[in-house]
Amino acid sequence: MPNHPDIMDKLVSLAKRRGFIFQSSEIYGGTGSVWDYGPLGIELKRNLQERWWQEMVRSRENVEGLDSAILMHPRVWEASGHVSGFVDPMVDCKNCKKRFRADDPKIKGTPGTPDGQCPACGMKGTLGAPRQFNLMFKTFMGPVEDSASIIYLRPETAQGTYVNFLNVQQATRQKVPFGIAQIGKAFRNEITPGNFIFRTREFEQMEMQFFVEPGTDMEWFEYWKAERMRWHRSLGLMENRLQFHQHGEDELAHYARAAFDVQFDFGGSLGFQEIEGIHNRGDFDLSQHQKFSSKKLEYFDQGTNKRFTPFVVETAAGPNRILLAVLVNGYREESVAGEDEGRVVLGLQPALAPIKAGVFPLVKKDGMPEMAKKIAQDLRPSFPVFYDDSGAIGRRYRRQDEIGTPFCITVDGESAAANTVTVRERDTLQQERVSTDSLREYLLKRLTA
């Protein structure tokens, strides 16, 4: 029995209707497993990314930021092991032309033999024998399409950090142990993408590579494991929906000596799934790049007069998956005392919510719209607000509840004379009268609480 119900279909519909997430190129029938972030989605994603950057870079003296390019020298991916090792075994159906991972539990019988049965068209004996399928997107650089111009879209941001290890270290004069963090796009030609934005072919990563002296790596690994779990909890993700999963020998990526996933329980049959990986990559990547580029990527410790290739502890998170976790975690349907209609609420943390306050005139007369518009305009430079004067006030509250807006400000009959407004809190539904002059400070304090 799943611990939590499956709410994915409801979320996909809400996300589209309210402008969080749209299918890419929808008017042409959509692009498989690629998604666009609408006005609310991009606010939420940026809030998550800024939260990560603040936590991982700005608040630490031993972590530096970087933004390396998506396109890199093709030898990078030979050195990193991605050309030979970033593969999944897959099978094709000769009848319906569909493609599956060879270990897809829906496949009956053995692919490549007469009893292998296609899970899509149901034909027997049409599945080919498993072949290795590389997950990297390949394209050409420059006007000539030959093997010399092949280039890859990066499948992880980490390699851009490794090849810049000495650039950053020398420019910042950081001493090992120190880290380099970046946020950027990554691409994987996943064989079985799906579950909305959970597994897509274009996505983002927030990765940090922490360079340490060999021998101290497991200590730092434990440190970063704890730090990253603490961060996920700080987003308001429920304690009982978070857990660690340790990779067994057969799960470890080609570069990893040890790995733990932070998993979130997405509910339904998806259940607990990875939202971040913490990896001990040893000296695999730096050593490989030294070998392939013939350039030294060593660190000289002036204190001990020792020269060594650092080990790397990596924290690799996906903002798209974390965004989905935050939506799943916050979604609830509830009845409201004294009202016939229930409400849908996105219980997002105020600091993460895309819109911080709705601003409404109670009715469209007696100067209320003018006063409400002025309040919205005055607040807008400080945080995103939404002015709404259409429909009954109850409906306007519901529209904000559904997108996670923590506060609704209403200008009513008393407002002009008393210079006050009501502030309604999303979760408790409590209303407080607040002076217009102190409204901004009042909200700012509650938004960061």
Across 87-167, the runs of DSSP E, i.e. the strands, are 87-92, 99-101, 131-134, 138-140, 150-152
- Tally helices (H) and strands (E) across the chain: 13, 23
Residue 47 is a binding residue for ligand GAP (CB under 6 A): no
State yes or no: residue 158 binds ligand GAP (CB under 6 A).
yes
68 or 400: CB nearest ligand GAP? 68
For 440, phi then psi, to 5°, come to -60, -50
> Side chain identity at 15, as an amino acid letter?
A
Of 175-183, 313-321, 361-369, 413-421, the window that binds ligand GAP (rule: CB under 6 A) is 313-321
Q: Shortest Cβ distance from residue 121 to ligand GAP (Å)?
A: 26
Can you tell me which of 117, 126, 205, 315 binds ligand GAP, judged by CB under 6 A?
Answer: 205
The answer to the question of residue 424 lying near ligand GAP (CB under 6 A) is: no
Cα 224 from Cα 36, distance rounded (Å): 31
Most distant pair of Cα atoms in the chain: their distance: 84
At position 235, the amino acid (one-letter code) is L
88 near ligand GAP (CB under 6 A): no
CA 48 → CA 227, 240, 319, 331, 333, distances in Å? Answer: 16, 21, 7, 17, 24
User: Quick check: helix, strand or coil at residue 385?
Assistant: strand
Shortest spacing between CB 68 and ligand GAP, in angstroms? 13
Listed residue (357, 358, 360) closest to 369, CA to CA: 360
List the interface residues with ligand GAP, window 372-401 (CB under 6 A).
Answer: none
Residue 276 as a binder of ligand GAP (CB under 6 A): the answer is yes
**Least distance CB 87 / ligand GAP (angstroms):** 13
199 binding ligand GAP? (CB under 6 A):
yes
286 binds ligand GAP (CB under 6 A): no
Q: Which is nearer to ligand GAP, 277 or 282 (CB)?
A: 277
The Cα–Cα gap between 120 and 126 comes to: 11
CA terminus-to-terminus distance, the chain: 36
State which of residues 6, 190, 366, 378 lies at the interface with ligand GAP (CB under 6 A). 190
Measure the CA angle with vertex 184, ends 183 and 187; round to 5°: 140
Would you count residue 203 as binding ligand GAP (CB under 6 A)? yes
User: Which of 317, 379, 423, 439 forms a contact with ligand GAP (CB under 6 A)?
Assistant: 317
Residue placing its CB nearer to ligand GAP in the complex, 158 or 375: 158
Q: Find the binder of ligand GAP among 45, 82, 154, 188 (CB under 6 A).
A: 188
List the one residue out of 338, 331, 343 whose CA is nearest residue 396: 343
280 forms part of the interface with ligand GAP (CB under 6 A): no
Which residue in 56, 237, 278, 316 binds ligand GAP (CB under 6 A)? 316
Beta carbon nearer to ligand GAP, 53 or 442: 53
Give the Cα separation of 331 and 401 in Å (integer).
10
Planar angle of CA 226, 230, 232, nearest 5 degrees = 120
Chain contacts with ligand GAP (rule: CB under 6 A): 156, 158, 188, 190, 199-200, 203, 205, 207, 274-277, 314, 316-318, 320-321
